[in-house]
Amino acid sequence: MPSKELRDSLRGIFGDVAPKLAELTETVVFDDVWERKALSKRDRSVVTVSALIAMGRLEQLPAHMGRALDNGVTQAEIEEIVTHLAIYAGFPCAISAARIANEVFQERAAKRSGG
């Protein structure tokens, strides 16, 4: 389940413009889909990151890469997902995803080191 911070952040991003979308995001996406038992949250993160890269939906990629790391996907696995998708989604998608992954990794490293 996403943190209260994430839920509040999403409500702040589009809740005023599309309150029903914010409600559906919470009730369907967070409370139902991400809580289903057939796939682990780690596996759901792998699928979600892969789908976002393949579709070129880069705006949501940093948040989902961060969530993937929180859900147990390793940096090496994210790097391999990006590389693997270069063949299936195209090099431009993979190159953009690699740039975003690097930013996410650097931000995480800075937080760990107190910077």
Sign of CA dihedral 94, 68, 72, 101: positive
Tell me: do 26 and 46 sit in the same domain: no
Tell me: do 95 and 62 sit in the same domain: yes
pTM score, whole prediction: 0.87
Checking if the pLDDT of 88 tops 90, the result is yes
Tell me: do 16 and 67 sit in the same domain: no
Write out the residue range of the structural domain in which residue 99 sits.
40-115
Tell me: do 25 and 51 sit in the same domain: no
CA distance 105 to 111: 10
CA distance 98 to 75: 11
CATH number of 95's domain: 1.20.1290.10
Assign 3-class secondary structure to the chain.
CCCHHHHHHHHHHHCCCCHHHHHHHHHHHHCCHHHCCCCCHHHHHHHHHHHHHHHCCHHHHHHHHHHHHHCCCCHHHHHHHHHHHHHHHCHHHHHHHHHHHHHHHHHHHHHHCCC
Checking if the pLDDT of 99 tops 90, the result is yes
Tell me: do 19 and 63 sit in the same domain: no
Domains: count for the chain: 2
pLDDT tens, position by position, 16-63 = 888 898 888 888 988 899 999 999 999 999 999 999 999 999 999 999
Tell me: do 62 and 21 sit in the same domain: no
Tell me: do 30 and 44 sit in the same domain: no
